[in-house]
């Protein structure tokens, strides 16, 4: 960039606490991020304080921080040195195996993402202003140089916005496409108003599912801010661990994280709680941005038909309508979400590969994968539950 006017200094810090919270969030919570909390100072501090991030977990912070001559933070890259590919939701295990079979070394690698969180949002975090475009280029060039100088196999920027995805290609990154499921609020006044836009069969199915949960005597309600106590977090951790034990075997988050999250970001948390006979039986953790509700973790200690759909999807829609949020992001996987109004959306990741021959092989893969993902999204949209023009209201 025009170095005679503004000298940009790049440094690496190993903890979010080494950057003042206001300086960090001036970049992480800039208007482009629309209040997305997953790379905020408070969220990362909760992960660090609970030791979910660090060398022991294979997520070692190596944050790149760009400052001007006066020390003002102009941009940040939330970068991690990783010894595995867990907790990322953009799967590259096959790439790692291929390189290692060929005699190369895939790990450690550099990961630029929100840890354990497939929520899309800016990954090159920029303070708004006339220098932002130049700072973007300086930061990307710096992380490539770090990887190249240290003979690190690759850099992975996952769940970035499409604009950053396009810009990263100019720096030698390969573009990969994925998908997840979002619900969009078209100005609905109520859940029934949303249901009225669905075809008759899907509308009746959702009403039947919600009625079944109610018949089981379950009471569901949202909690946020000071309403969430240590007791609620302990109960939610039990839900989380039950799901982790059944599905993953090795949970990414610990009890302390949820308590730290409550201390640092309580006003962003929307915790859906389900009780039966005044006893907590299920919960879903959501975080709120300026225009979206982000569904994250869920769990239960009682089996009940449709409880998962009610707790994670329908309650989130209720909350978004009541608070006039534009969308609910329900994350990756789960085609069952489509019939409940959560439609497939493209997600974007960018990958820099140091070894030229390996890069060529990965490029062939992602170039062939992209049109297949696009076709898959189009095919899945055919299962949309929304009434098509000309359909009867039913």
What are phi and psi for residue 173, nearest 5 degrees? -85, 145
Residues 140 and 212 in one domain: no
Collect the ranges in the chain with pLDDT lower than 70: 1-4, 244-249, 389-394
**pLDDT for position 393:** 57
Is 341 among the domain residues? no
Boundary residue ending a domain (291, 325, 359):
325
- Residue 228, phi-psi category: left (phi > 0), alpha (psi -120 to 50), beta (remainder): beta
Residues 169 and 210 in one domain: no
CA distance 265 to 260: 8
**pLDDT for position 1:** 47
> Domain holding 14: CATH number?
3.40.630.30
Is 370 among the domain residues? yes
Largest CA distance in the chain: 70
Is 100 among the domain residues? yes
Number of domains in the chain: 2
Name the strand (E) or helix (H) holding 260: helix 255-265
Residues 46 and 74 in one domain: yes
Is 210 among the domain residues? yes
Cis bond leading into 267, ω under 30°? no
Q: Which of 117, 181, 148, 67 shows the shortest CA–CA distance to 352?
A: 148
CA distance 53 to 61: 7
Alpha carbon separation from 35 to 42, 88, 310 (Å, rounded): 12, 21, 26
Residues 105 and 232 in one domain: no
The full DSSP string for 122-177 is: -SSEE-SSTTHHHHHHHHHHHHHHHHHHTT--EEEEEEE-HHHHHHHHTTTPEEEE
pTM for the model stands at: 0.94
Residues 214 and 312 in one domain: yes
Structure tokens at 223: 């909690």
Q: Which of 225, 238, 226, 230 shows the shortest CA–CA distance to 280?
A: 238
Residues 20 and 93 in one domain: yes
Rg (CA), the chain: 22
**pLDDT for position 225:** 96
CA distance 321 to 330: 15
Residues 123 and 236 in one domain: no
Is 1 among the domain residues? no
**pLDDT for position 6:** 81
Q: Which of 190, 245, 39 shows the shortest CA–CA distance to 124?
A: 39
Q: Which of 296, 301, 247 shows the shortest CA–CA distance to 119?
A: 296
Name every residue whose Cβ is closer than 8 Å to that of residue 198 and which is 6 or more positions away in sequence.
206, 341, 385, 386, 387
Structure tokens at 329: 């992001």
Q: Which of 314, 340, 232 shows the shortest CA–CA distance to 240?
A: 232
Alpha carbon separation from 213 to 191, 307, 337 (Å, rounded): 16, 6, 18
Is 81 among the domain residues? yes
Q: Which of 295, 301, 299 shows the shortest CA–CA distance to 313?
A: 295
Residues 318 and 263 in one domain: yes
What are phi and psi for residue 112, nearest 5 degrees? -115, 105
CA distance 367 to 365: 6
Residues 156 and 67 in one domain: yes
Residues 19 and 100 in one domain: yes
Q: Is 30 helix (H, G, I), strand (E, B) or coil?
A: coil
CB contact at 8 A, 126 and 132: yes
CA distance 134 to 349: 21
**pLDDT for position 249:** 58
Residues 304 and 221 in one domain: yes
Identify the domain containing residue 352 by its residue range.
9-179+346-380
Q: How far is CA 223 from the centre of its chain?
A: 21
Residues 191 and 168 in one domain: no
- pLDDT digit string (tens) for 186-231? 999 999 999 999 999 999 999 999 999 999 999 999 999 999 999 9
Structure tokens at 234: 């302990």
Is 238 among the domain residues? yes
Name the strand (E) or helix (H) holding 180: strand 174-184
Is 4 among the domain residues? no
């Amino acid at each position: 960039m025009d170095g005679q006017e503004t000298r940009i200094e790049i440094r690496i810090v190993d903890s979010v606490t080494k950057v003042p919270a206001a300086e960090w969030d001036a970049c992480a919570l800039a208007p482009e991020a629309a209040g997305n909390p997953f790379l905020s100072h408070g969220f990362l501090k909760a992960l660090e304080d609970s030791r979910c991030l660090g060398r022991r977990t294979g997520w070692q912070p190596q944050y790149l921080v760009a400052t001007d001559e006066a020390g003002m933070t102009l941009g940040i890259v939330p970068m991690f040195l990783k010894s595995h590919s867990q907790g990322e939701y953009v799967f590259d295990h096959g790439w790692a195996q291929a390189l290692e079979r060929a005699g190369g070394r895939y790990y450690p690698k550099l990961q630029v993402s929100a840890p354990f969180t497939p929520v899309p949002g800016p990954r090159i975090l920029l303070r708004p202003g006339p220098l932002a475009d130049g700072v973007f280029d300086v930061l990307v060039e710096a992380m490539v140089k770090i990887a190249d100088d240290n003979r690190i196999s690759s850099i992975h920027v996952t769940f970035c916005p499409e604009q950053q995805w396009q810009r990263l290609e100019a720096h030698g990154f390969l573009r990969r496409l994925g998908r997840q499921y979002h619900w969009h609020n078209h100005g609905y006044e109520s859940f029934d108003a949303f249901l009225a836009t669905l075809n008759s069969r899907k509308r009746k199915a959702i009403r039947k599912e919600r009625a079944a949960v109610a018949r089981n005597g379950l009471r569901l309600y949202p909690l946020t801010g000071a309403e969430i106590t240590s007791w609620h977090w302990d109960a939610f951790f039990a839900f989380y661990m039950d799901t982790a034990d059944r599905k993953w075997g090795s949970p990414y988050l610990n009890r302390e994280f949820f308590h730290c999250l409550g201390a640092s970001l309580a006003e962003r948390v929307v915790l859906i709680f389900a009780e039966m006979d005044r006893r907590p039986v299920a919960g879903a953790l959501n975080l709120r941005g300026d225009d979206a509700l982000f569904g994250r973790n869920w769990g239960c200690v009682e089996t009940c038909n449709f409880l998962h759909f009610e707790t994670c999807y329908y309650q989130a829609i209720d909350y978004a309508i009541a608070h006039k949020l534009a969308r609910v992001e329900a994350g990756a996987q789960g085609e069952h979400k489509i019939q409940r109004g959560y439609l497939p959306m493209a997600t974007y990741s960018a990958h820099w590969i140091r070894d030229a021959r390996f890069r060529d092989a990965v490029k062939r893969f992602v170039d062939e994968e992209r049109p297949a993902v696009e076709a898959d999204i189009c095919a899945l949209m055919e299962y949309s539950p929304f009434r098509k023009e000309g359909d009867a209201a039913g």
